[in-house]
Amino acid sequence: MSKPELEFHLPDGPWTTPVGAAPGVEERVLAHDPERGCRTTLVRWAPGTDTSTQGVARHDFWEEVYLFEGALHDLTLGQTFTAGMYACRPPGMPHGPWTSQDGVTMLVITYPQLGRQ
C-alpha cells in the first residue's frame, strides 16, 4: 500500500486533535499510508499553545516540517522559528518543547525509519 493518488484539490478533511497533543494543537491529514506509517498533515497551533509539560520530543520516524505562517519558539534552544523555515529530523533527534504566542500553521511529513517496512 502507499499514500493515495490525489490530483490537486482543496483539502476538506476535519481538523482533529492528535492523540497526546498539547491543548491548542490540531491536524488535518492530507495523505496517509497506514501500512507503512507515512503521513502528510497540516498542523495548526492556536495562539498561546505551550508544549512545555510534554518535555523534549523524540520520534522513531523521520519528520519534515515547513512553517507556513506564524512562529514557534523552542524553549530548549531559546530560538524562534518563523514562516518560511524548514526542519528535517531523523529518528531520535530531540526537539522542543515549544510555545507559539500568536499561533502557527505548518506542513508536517513523516516517514517510518529507513529499512522498516
- 12/98: higher pLDDT: 98
- pTM of the full structure: 0.91
Is 114's pLDDT higher than 80?
A: no
Between CA 13 and CA 30 the distance in angstroms is 8
Is 44's pLDDT higher than 90?
A: yes
Could you please report the per-residue DSSP string of the chain?
--SPP--S----PPPBPPTTPPTTEEEEEEEEETTTTEEEEEEEE-TTEE-GGG-SB--SEEEEEEEEEEEEEETTTTEEEETT-EEEE-TT--B--EEESS-EEEEEEEEEPTT--
* Mean pLDDT, rounded, of the chain: 93
Per-residue confidence band for 117, with pLDDT thresholds at 50, 70 and 90: very low
Is 59's pLDDT higher than 60?
A: yes
